[in-house]
Every structure is written in C-alpha cells, then in structure tokens.
Structure 1
Amino acid sequence: MPRDLLRSAEHRLVLPPIDHGAIALMVEAVTGGVPTRRLDDALLRTLDIGDLPVALRNVRSADDGIDAIARVLSQKADYLESGPSLDELHGYGAARDWGLALAQDLNDYRAGRIDWSDIDNRGLLLSGPPGVGKTSFAKALAKSARVPLVATSVAEWNSANYMSGTLQAIREAFSRARAQAPCLLFIDELDGISDRTQIRGEYVQYWTQIVNLFLELLAGVEERPGVVVVAATNHPDRIDAAVKRAGRLDREIAIEKPDVATLDRIFRHHLGAETLPDISLAPVALAARGRTGADVESFVRRARGRARRGGRELLLADLMAEVRDDAPQLSSDDRRRIAIHEAGHAVACRALGFHDAIVDVSLSDAGGLLVMTQQITGCSTLPQLEAMLTVILSGRAAERICLGEASIGAGGRANSDLERATTIARDIEARYGLGALGPVLVDVSATDLLIPNGLLEQVAKRLRAAEERARVLLEDHRKQVEAIAAALEAEGYLAGAEIERLLATAASPSTPNSEGRR
C-alpha cells in the first residue's frame, strides 16, 4: 500500500484467518443446525473464502456441511493444474527429487508444522534444451505441492510499453504470487534478462534498472513468505551471476534429454495403459533416441491421428512412422558394423575396469551409442586418461578386427569418438601438464594444434598408441565383442547388467593373460 494512504487511515483492522468457530457459524447460517464435529486442522489452513459457496451450495445438515467443505478442500489441488503430478513424470532426475522434497515442505508449511524459514528449497534455476519439459515440471510441481501456479515469462514482461511498463509487469508478477501464497512463481525464458557484464552501449541503463529490480524482488525472500520461485532457461550461461547468489536462485539443476529407458516410460505415459498394453515400446524409444518428452507427446498425438483417419486402432507401426518421419533405415550391413563398433567400446570398458560405469548401449537408425558415467575430474591421472582414450578408440579397433577396416563413423562430427579423443590427447599435452611439454599450461583451442610447434605430432602419436592398445586388447576378447554385437544387433538395446552378463558368459580363453596385462 502507498505510504501516505496508510498514514491517512484513521483505523486499521486486521482480519484473523477463518477458524473453526467461523466455520460453525457459516454452516449454521446455511443449514440452521450446529455441526457436531470439526474440520481437520490441516484442511482448515488451505481454506479461503471462495471455497465456502462451492462447498455449501447444496448441503442439508450441519455435519453434511463439514463433510462438503472437507471434500472440496481435499480435491482443491486437482483443479489447480491439469496433467500429471511430479511423481508421475519421468526423466527429471535431480529436479524431480528437489521438487518432491519441496512439495513435502510446502505441505508441512501450509499445515503449520514448519515455518517459512525452515524451507531451504525456495529458489531454483531450471536449465536444459528446448522440449525437455521445464514448463511441464513447474505444472507438475504445483500439483504435487497442492499450491497455485503463477506463470509468467521475461518475454511477457518485455512486451510492455517503455521501461516503466516492464518494471511494473515484474512487480505485478511477484505481487500476484504474494497474494496467492503459498504458491509457485514460474518465470520462463529468464535469459531474456540480460547479464549486466555483457551489456554495452545505449542499453546499459535500461537493462541495469530491470536487472536491479528483479534482484531486489528475488532477494526479498522473507518478504514473500510462501512464494517459491522457479525460473527456466535454455541458456544458463547468459544469466546474470547475481541471480544465482545465495538467497536468490541459488540452486541450478539441468534437465538433460531423456535416455532410451526413460523415453520408453514417456511413450507409455502418453499412450496410457489401455493402448498397446502388451506391446514393447523399446523399438520406438530406440528410434526416438536424442528426442525430448515434447517430441514424444507430438509423436503419440500424430500417430493417434493417423490411426483415427485410417479407421482402426493405433499400431506400433504408426508410432514408428512418426518417429522416423521417412528417414532412411539402416541397412543390415551398416547395422552389423555399428553393433560391432559399440560392442568394442563395451568390452574395452569392462577390460579396463570401467564396467561399473556402463549405463547402457543402444542401436537405432541414427547410429549407436554407449552411455557411461566415467568423467574426467581434477583427480584423474595419466593412466586413467590413457585408459579412457583406449575405450573411445576401441570402436574403430573392433571394426578393423571383425570387418577388416574402420569406417568414418568415428569422426566427422562434433562429439564423435575422434573429436573426444583428440580433445583429451590435446589436453594431456597442453593443459594437464602430463605430456611431452612437461608441467606447463598452454592456452590452445581445437583449431590451434599447430601452436606450439610439435603439438599436433604429439597428439597424433598419443592417439595412435591408444588405438593400438585397443586393438591388442580386443584381439584377446574377440569372442566377447562378437557376443555383444550379436545381442545388440538383435535387440537394439542392452542395459548395463545385461552387458555384464553377456561379457561374463562369453569370456574368451585368453582372458587371464589380458587381465594380467591390465
């Protein structure tokens, strides 16, 4: 309220929240009777005045009135947001865990079991590529927490006329959220607010005022009790660093594109239990590898339309046709080669001690992919890096052993085997202080391998040595390579446990020698 308006008021009345006595009086006024039982305290805390006419419109007795109010309040969250709750969604990983913990905290806060200051999950920056479900996450979180969702976006703020309109739109978004607390304030496209360190020219003052106001409202977390802020962005690197400081959006979680197993569950979610109930969805999940949950929803919707226009029930072929979108399928020879390539990676992982890191391996029309959790950290050593190089180049080595020559599939694109291996070998020489140059750090990019003189030769030498190690290793484990390749070619997908089982049962007679060399 404006300060001077408050000063001019002769009286200030503070209305208490609706209590059990007020409920009893309203029920008596409607029914003419006095209720003999009370509303549950936890439900009473969720009640607002608009719930009463909904609940009491057709009741005949006082106790029926209490039951009607309880029923309306219990079902209240079902009308806040449509769609699934958070525990029904798949592929959100750490974001889902964060959201479920927040939902429990908000339920406890609304019930009076904890204070606002006890809730630690009060701000989240959600990042990820388009289509991974950031907006769906916010809706599902609001439904799970049984609170209203106040949704806005930076694009909406910037659509206002002049800077004053943008500032007012930001204030109104936070004001709406405070009025509905406890609630979730969702801000989409947060990267639309510029990073002050990157602003230049005539727009510096304009954006600085907008960013400063946003930071002020974010920092006033104690002045907006019950309001949790979740912001989404496709470009977390463009967010002003001050937005991520403690007390603001101090938790950042990235949502990745779903893996094959998660895509399988997402397809099932959108199809429902009644559609294709006994049909495995693994083939379409494999074909959709690299796509998002939004893509899956679109595939299912278009496949239903295809079946409806054909006057028949939905078939797996309808889904596959939408996913492939007339893309060419792998020939049998190409499928065999890719299966051998990925089998080489899997066998090398196990032989070099990385078997616990294998998540899965898959084969689709887009190619093959081995997913593993092994990462380079500050504690990685030269032997560990060389083992990773061997694993990365073992796909080419497997092709040479089983098919006589390697294809170009290991290179030619970003994030290919050769690109990743070259980056690691370059960093060993120029950044990690473990190469021929000794303990120095040379700032080079991927296009600067010729500087300093001799770096390219050292990188190539290291990569040739890694591929030779892979060749010797897989020669000793050829039977395992062929077993994994055959299973992958037939099934299209192998989980980590299945890979381990196949490797164990197909152990070659020369395994003890290779184990000793390792």
Structure 2
Amino acid sequence: MNNLGRNLALWVSIILLLLLLVNMFQPGSTQHAAQQLAYSDFIADVDTGHVRSVVMQNHNISGTLTDGTAFETYAPLDPSLVTRMVGKGVEVVAKPQEQEGSPLLRYFLNSLPIILLVAAWLFMMRQMQGAGGRAMGFGKSRAKMLTEKHGRVTFDDVAGIDEAKGELQEIVDFLKDPQKFTRLGGKIPKGVLLVGPPGTGKTLLARAIAGEANVPFFTISGSDFVEMFVGVGASRVRDMFEQGKKAAPCIIFIDEIDAVGRHRGAGMGGGNDEREQTLNQMLVEMDGFESNEGVILIAATNRPDVLDPALLRPGRFDRQVVVPNPDVSGREKILRVHMRKVPLASDVDPRIIARGTPGFSGADLANLVNEAALSAARLGRRTVSMREFEDAKDKVLMGVERRSLIMSDDEKRRTAYHEAGHAITAVLVPESEPIHKATIVPRGRALGMVMRLPEDDRLSMSKKNAFAHLVVAMGGRVAEEVIYGKDNVCNGAMGDIKMATRVARSMVTEWGMSDKLGMIAYADDDQNGGFFAGASRNFSEETAREIDEEVRRLVDEAYVQARNYLHDHIDELRRLAEALLEYETLSGEEIRQIMRGQPIERKEEEESGPVNRRSSVPQVGGPDAQGSDKPENENGGPAPVPQPS
C-alpha cells in the first residue's frame, strides 16, 4: 500500500511538472504572444486612439489595442506620457516597482522548474534501475546464508532426538573429512528429508549440522520458489544450486518443501504449471547430468504423504529421517537444554516435569519453560521453582485458573465430591495410573480436575487398563449419587460419560476386547470409528445392535464397580471432599494420607497458594457444564486413550 501511494505521488508530480513546462514554453501563451512595439509607434497609436488600456510598471508598459492585440514596450522617462494617454481616453493602470531581490534567489526561482524536472527524472531512473535489477534478478535464488551473527547452533543445543542426530552425524563427518568415505568408494547422501510433526526441531537440527561441520548454510522456504510467472521458480532453483556449488561444501536447507514438491499432475496448469516446472528443475539439479558434489540438500516437511515419488527415490532424497515427538527421556533432555538460561530453584526436577508432559514437542517444552519464567517474573521471584513450572504446565494444558468464577457453596461442595469420587476410584483400582493431584480450582471450562501421572509413556494399553479408565470415569457421577441421590445428580459428568463411551466403543470395535464380537474391526480408519459419525457401515443392523449392547455392558460394569468402591469407602469420600473444600488442591500423597485417616501436614505457603510438588498428566472430564474435552494422551501408540478426572 505504501509503494502504491509513493508511485502514485511520483506520477502525479511528473505530470504536473510536464504541464508546467508545456505552459512555460508553449509558443501560443500570452507571455510570448504579446507584440513588441517601438515607443514611437506606441505614441502614434495613443494619439490616433488605437490604445484601449495600458499597465505601467516602472518603465515597462504593456496593454491592449482597440483591436484586441496585446503589446509590450519600454518607455523612457516621459512626464507627459500619462497626461497624453488620459487625454485620449486610455485606461491606465499603474503598478508599484518590484523589489530587487538577490540575483542568486532570482536565478534559483527561475531555475526551479528545471531543477524539479531533473530531480524527478533522476528519481525515475533510479526506480527503473531498481526495477531493472529486480527484473534481472527475478529468477535469482532467495536463499539466505546463515552467518555467525544468527548464533551458532550445535548438536549440544538439540536434545531428545538422539536417533535423528545419529543419522545426521555421518553427514557432519563427511563435510569435515570427505576422504574418509570417498577412499572406500562411498558417496554421501545427496539429500536428507526430515519428517516429523510441527515443533519437533527439524529446522534446529539442520542448523546444528551446519554448526557442527562449520560450513556455509543456505536457508530458503519452499514457497519462495513459486511465482505467478512460469519458469521463475525453475530459474531460482538453478541459481540456488549455482550458489551452492560456489560455496561447496555447503548445506542448502529447504523448509516446508511440500509447498513445491507435491505430486505432479494435480495442478490446474497442466504441463505449464509453475510449481511442477520448479519441481522438475529441482529433480534435475539433484540427480541429473551435472554433478553437485559437496552440495547437500536438507528439506523438512510434516506432510511426506503429498510429496512426489520422484523426489523421494535414491539419488535425490536418499534418506528420510523421522523427527518424532520426544519420549519421556527426550523431554527431560530438552527441558534441561531450555533451562540453561533460567535460574532454577533447588526443588525443580526436570524428570518429573517430563513425566507429566506426554506428547509435548520441543517447541511446547520451550513454551512451558518460558511461561514458568514469566510467571516467576510477575511474582517478583529471583528463581523459577517447581511451583511456577506446575502452574505453567497446567496453564498450557488446561487454561488459566478462573479465580474470578463465582460458585455457590452447594456447587463447590458438589464439585468436591465429584472429584473425590474420581480420586478414590483412581487410588483403589489396581490397573489405574498413580494419582498425582486433585483440584477444584476451575480451569478453562472444567470446574475441577483429577490428574494421574503415568510412570512412563504408555505406548500400548491392556484390557484391564482400558477398563480401569471406565471405572475412574464413572467415579464422579457415582459419588454424586451416593451423596445426593440419583434424582439430584447434575450434568457435570457429561465429559466423563462421553469419554467412557468412546473408550468402550473402541474396545469393542477396534481393539478386539469383546468376547462376544471377537477380533473384528468394525470401525473405519478415517475418523475414530467413522460410521458413528455418519459414514457408511460395513456390517449389518444386527451387528450394530450387538455393538451397542456390548458398549452398554462395559460401561454398566464399570459403573457397578465404581459404586461398590465408593459404598465401601464412604468415610474416605467424605474426608477427601472436606479436604478439597479446605485446601482446593491436594497432591497424590496427601490424598493417600487422607484415605488412610492420617492428618496432612502442609507448610505455610506464600500468598499465591499451595505448591504442587509433582508434575502431572491432564485427564479428561470433571464437573463441566459445557462438556469439556481436553487433549488426550498424544504420545502416540496403537491406542491413545483419554483418562477421566
């Protein structure tokens, strides 16, 4: 928008100057059309009555004859001239004499139009040179060389992806000592494709390779190749490889290569499609008649399924390095890397934080550390303690605490019993993960939450584990029924019921955990059991009825088991609810102490509340009038299962 306004102002100025110059030098203008008369002729015309009007200024006289002709003349000092003209009926206008200004100023004013014209011409030529340079450089590569001022990154700055670093260490060794491989006839891979979800460190890993090898590192985005005009992208690819050859050995990193490397034949332009031409040129440069020795191409994408097969064959991208979300050990290492610049309190344990953040990527963990540091800064603390990390993790996973939410005493007590029911069933069911903490502090849309902390990342789930989730999910509703009666329950268990139904249906239709229906997959692969969302069924109505009955049976059995647990431990339920009403948040050890009938000993905390001593995994559910569905276990595995609160 600024360039448009600047160009418009430039052209308006040029047009005005041209009009001014045309007006100044136009032969037919009044200034140059005035007839020059000799003074004697002027006196004769006055005497004969041929002069209509005159304008006198100093010795200069201009005027109009009776036939409309304009004239100019120069009069000597003649005192009787005015009397003669008035006597002949000439209209006389006298003007004062102009002040004599500086000759330089007068010269500048007279030359101003020409100066403006020259300045406009020079500016226009400069713009044309810039446009010409851009036009000449339209097909130049936009790859930028990463220099030391951007900060050198090494493998020490990359953690949690040891397998990927091991794959790429060979490239570093080749760049440092090529003869080590070439003397045995080996060839280094021409291209490496980094594949993984967003935020796992693909770009950081590519920078670390360049930092370790200490070679030039060119970076460019896949979208920088594609322009409106066909052939521009291909020209930029050629120029990029030319730059790489001049700086060899070097690394060229293309981020989001799927922007230009998609399957050919899907474009609207047929064979003239710009994106396809760019991809064709890249294929030729990577493995064509000309060799690109010493130029290693590294690309990153989180959409490998859309890439053209010719791009992935050996000789081009020889290796595909998967950069996944880190496991618990990797998360601990990543946290330690990001905690280097943060002053930590003595109670911070990265291992516990890592256990409570399954499915977090490296970017998520960096954001977690940053949120903890900001929280400590807001409170005016000099170090970041485990308390800030707990608060930051809960904020990232579940949202900000809703301290301003006004709950009645009855709603708060109902929430306390609901969460106490989840907590007691989680402690009593042997196959459940260890309970970490329970809280009735509202976060996001949930009015309360119970969290369980798995010892390690769960990659698979047994039938007992899945059924334990159902029992814990039913604990909240059963606790309300035990205390208030069936007719006085509320809709707070909506999220628990949805989660339990989803788990039970997956047990029956996907995981083969039903003796009645056997090991048959009844769910489509598209959307978590697509036929339940309206997709076409691949089974009969009778089978659908059996599925519904089996799901109902599993949920009912879990409900009965949860009711038995809470009926047998009604005293513990009441004690735990009262403790939640008093402290709002209880750790897992405090919950177990209350269930054993032991008093809890809690040190005086600072003004912001109790410290949560251990990290946790968010669980789905809790009293939630709007049916909150928080993210489930995102660590992967054959069957990620949400866990109730």
The answer to whether the Cα contact below 8 Å between 2:524 and 2:530 also exists between their aligned partners in 1 is: no
Alignment of 1:213-292 (within 5 A): 213-220=281-288, 223-259=291-327, 262-272=330-340, 275-276=343-344, 278-282=346-350, 290-292=359-361
Letter in 1 for 2:384: L
Q: Is the 8 A contact 1:124 1:251 kept in 2?
A: yes
Aligned to 2:201: 133
Q: Which has the higher helix share?
A: 1
Q: Is residue 276 of structure 2 the alignment partner of residue 193 of structure 1?
A: no
| Cα distance change of structure 1 residues 403 and 196 upon mapping to structure 2, 3 Å threshold | closer
- Cα distance in 2, alignment partners of residues 439 and 178 from structure 1: 54
Q: Work out whether 1:147 is the aligned partner of 2:215.
A: yes
Structure 2 match to 1:182: 249
SS in 1 for 2:276: helix
In the TM superposition, residue 467 of structure 1 has moved relative to its aligned partner by: 5.7
Hey, what's the Cα distance between the residues in 1 that align with 2:166 and 2:429?
32
Q: Which amino acid aligns with 1:191?
A: D
Q: Aligned partners of 2:429 and 2:321: how far apart in 1? A: 30
Is the contact between residue 86 and residue 144 of structure 1 (CA under 8 Å) also seen in structure 2?
yes
- The alignment status of 1:328 with 2:401, answered yes or no, reads yes
Return the match for 2:530 from 426, 429, 445.
Answer: 445
Structure 1: give runs of 5+ residues left out of the alignment. 1-76, 350-359, 376-386, 496-518
Residue 164 (1) aligns with residue 231 (2): yes
Distance 1:306 1:146 in 2: 38
The correspondence of residues 49-128 of structure 1 with structure 2, limited to 5 A, is 79=148, 82-109=151-178, 112-115=179-182, 118-119=186-187, 121-128=189-196
CA distances 1:45-92 after superposition (whole Å, capped 9, x unpaired): xxxxxxxxxxxxxxxxxxxxxxxxxxxxxxxx9949724422442232
Q: Distance in 2 between matches of 1:455 and 1:341?
A: 33
SS in 1 for 2:231: helix
SS in 2 for 1:347: coil
- The answer on whether the counterparts of 2:251 and 2:296 sit within 8 Å (CA) in structure 1 is yes
Aligned residues of 2:475 and 2:563 also touching (Cα < 8 A): yes
TM-score by length of 1: 0.58
- The match for 1:391 is 465
Deviation string 1:138-172 (CA, Å, 9 cap, x unpaired) is: 111222233332211112212x5622221111122
**C-alpha displacement at 1:229, in angstroms?**
2.0
Q: Give the CA deviation at 1:368.
A: 5.1
Cα-to-partner distance string for 1:159-200 (whole Å, 9 max, x where unaligned): x56222211111222222233232222110111125335614
Shift, 1:293, TM fit: 2.7
**Cα-to-partner distance string for 1:411-462 (whole Å, 9 max, x where unaligned):** 64xxx66546534633478xxxx95798999998333375532332233344
Deviation at 1:308, TM superposition (A): 6.1
| Secondary structure class of the residue paired with 1:228 | strand
Equivalent position amino acid for 1:422 in 2 = R
* 2:542 equivalent to 1:454: yes
Report if the CA contact (8 A) 1:389-1:421 is conserved.
Answer: no
Q: Which residue of 1 aligns with 2:600?
A: none
**Distance (whole Å) between structure 1 residues aligned to residue 470 and residue 520 of structure 2:** 30
Matched residues, number: 385
Summarize deviations over 1:187-246 as a string: whole Å, max 9, x none: 101111253356143355313322222222233498222332221113222222222222
The within-5 A match list for 1:402-441 is 404=478, 407-409=493-495, 412=498, 418-419=501-502, 422-423=505-506, 425-427=508-510, 435=517
2:261·2:307 contact (CA, 8 Å) conserved in 1? Answer: yes
* CA distance in 1 between partners of 2:304 and 2:435 (Å): 30
Q: Is the 8 A contact 2:155 2:165 kept in 1?
A: yes
Contact 1:105–1:119 (Cα < 8 Å) also in 2:
no
TM-score, L = length of structure 2: 0.48
Instruction: Please state how far the C-alpha of 1:329 moved relative to its aligned partner.
Output: 7.5
* CA gap 1:450/1:301 in 2 versus in 1, 3 angstroms: closer
Q: Kindly tell me: are residues 246 and 418 of structure 1, through their superposed partners in 2, closer, same or farther at Cα, counting changes over 3 Å?
A: farther
Q: Does the Cα contact within 8 Å between 1:185 and 1:227 map onto a contact in 2?
A: yes
SS of the equivalent of 2:193 reads strand
Larger mean CA deviation between 171-180 and 200-209 belongs to: 200-209
SS in structure 2 at match of 1:460: helix
**1:231 aligned counterpart, secondary structure:** strand
Residue 516 (structure 1) aligns with: none
What SS does structure 2 have at the residue aligned with 1:199? coil
Q: Which SS does the other structure have where 2:314 is aligned?
A: coil
Secondary structure at the aligned position of 1:150 is classed as: strand
AA at the equivalent of 2:509? R
User: Could you say if the C-alpha distance between residues 151 and 437 of structure 1 is closer, same or farther in structure 2, counting changes exceeding 3 Å?
Assistant: closer
Partner of 1:64: none
Of the structure 1 ranges 441-450 and 133-142, higher mean CA displacement relative to structure 2 is found in: 441-450
Tell me, yes or no, if the aligned pair for 1:139 and 1:149 is still in contact at 8 Å.
Answer: yes
CA deviation profile, 1:373-429 (whole Å, cap 9, x unmatched): 545xxxxxxxxxxx84543232112444798369444564xxx66546534633478
CA RMSD in angstroms comes to 5.0
Distance 1:294 1:388 in 2: 31
Secondary structure in 1 matching 2:269: helix
Contact 2:159 2:334 survives alignment (8 Å)? yes
Partner SS, residue 218 of structure 2 = strand
TM superposition shift of 1:113? 1.7
Question: What is the CA deviation profile of residues 94-148 of structure 1, one whole-angstrom value per residue up to 9, with x for unaligned ones?
Answer: 3223223432344342xx2221952555432223333332211111122223333
Within 1, Cα distance between the matches of 2:436 and 2:242? 49
CA contact (8 A) 1:361 1:493 kept: no
Distance 1:421-1:441 versus aligned 2 partners, 3 A rule: closer
Question: CA separation in 2, counterparts of 1:259 and 1:338?
Answer: 27
Instruction: Supply the AA of the counterpart residue of 1:95.
Output: A
In structure 2, distance between residues paired with 1:422 and 1:221: 57
Which one of 347, 365, 368 corresponds to residue 431 of structure 2? Answer: 347
Distance 1:99 1:306, change over 3 A: same
Q: Is the contact made by 1:80 and 1:149 (CA closer than 8 Å) also made in structure 2? A: no
Kept in 2, the 8 Å contact 1:195–1:241? The answer is no
The answer (yes or no) to whether the contact 2:195–2:323 under 8 Å persists in 1 is yes
Tell whether the 8 Å contact from 1:132 to 1:292 is kept in structure 2 after alignment. yes
For structure 2, list consecutive stretches of 5 or more residues without a partner in the other structure: 1-145, 404-414, 444-448, 481-492, 574-586, 592-611, 618-645
Q: 1:439 to 1:156 in 2, by over 3 A?
A: closer
Alpha-carbon distance between aligned partners in 1 of 2:502 and 2:339, rounded to the nearest angstrom: 38
The residue identity in structure 1 corresponding to 2:214 is R
The higher radius of gyration belongs to 2
**What SS does the aligned partner of 2:165 have?**
helix
